[in-house]
Structure 1
Amino acid sequence: MCIRNNTNNDEGIDPNAVNEDGTPIVRVRLPRKRNNEQFAMAELMMGANHIRVRCHDGVTRMGRIKGKIKKRAWIREGDIVLVTPWSFQDEKCDIVYRYLPPQADWLRKNRYL
């Protein structure tokens, strides 16, 4: 059995995954205003899938990790997340997405955060 290296270039970098200047291409999900989504930073792990988050509007809320991302993404203190505040209790919200470090860097560079 023969194992081949399928890269065409010597560096092993996929030419479709980097920009001309060598920086990686990053795809970032932005908040949807019609769903009332906003950026937040995870501050304190409370246990039982609850996290205290500081939202972009300045309010500290109790965030609940939705079941869709509970098993897919681990959220730690200091992570940038996307939240949807509850319409009937303003001090609570649902966490709907976690940004990876390259995505958070892109958001800071383009002044979304």
Structure 2
Amino acid sequence: MTHKNRDEKSQKTRIPGENECLGIVEQLLGYDRLKVRCADGKTRICRIPGRMKKKIWISEGDLVLITPWDFQSDSRGDIVYKYEKDEVRKLKELGYGIDIINSQ
């Protein structure tokens, strides 16, 4: 990835949509599964979809965007997006997920 692409990406910060939630990765569980503390106060076991597995590295403390499953929505979900540091700063400025970002 070139610096130009990174700069273009940072200008388009993904905002949580309907049925999406911000979360902080608490623990890596293995087998592409993570324990995520979500902004709605729930802790979910989330999986990394195959399309993201080898493209994005996620570690503890990262801010992620998740989509809860249709069934078991209180305990399971999928990782949709991982925020970079500059995107986290932008989210703070816009007022999204302030509580969860500050508790990091």
Scaled by the length of structure 1, what TM-score is found?
0.73
- Greater helix fraction, Structure 1 or Structure 2: 2
**Structure-1 residue corresponding to 2:11:** 26
Q: Name the structure, 1 or 2, with higher relative contact order (CA <8 Å, separation 6+).
A: 2
Give 2:58's match in structure 1, choosing from 75, 79, 103: 75
The 1-side partners of 2:12 and 2:26 are apart by 25
Give 1:42's match in structure 2, choosing from 25, 29, 36: 25
Q: CA deviation at 1:26?
A: 2.9
String of CA shifts for 1:48-68, please: whole Å, max 9, x gaps.
Answer: 100000111000000100111
Runs (4+) off by over 6 Å: none
Give 1:110's match in structure 2, choosing from 88, 94, 100: 94
The 1-side partners of 2:77 and 2:32 are apart by 12
User: Superposition RMSD on alpha carbons, in Å?
Assistant: 1.5
**Is 2:91 the partner of 1:97?**
no
**Structure-1 residue corresponding to 2:102:** none
Give the unaligned 5+ runs of structure 2. Answer: 98-104
String of CA shifts for 1:59-111, please: whole Å, max 9, x gaps.
Answer: 00001001111111100111110100011112000001100110011111221
**Structure-2 residue corresponding to 1:52:** 35
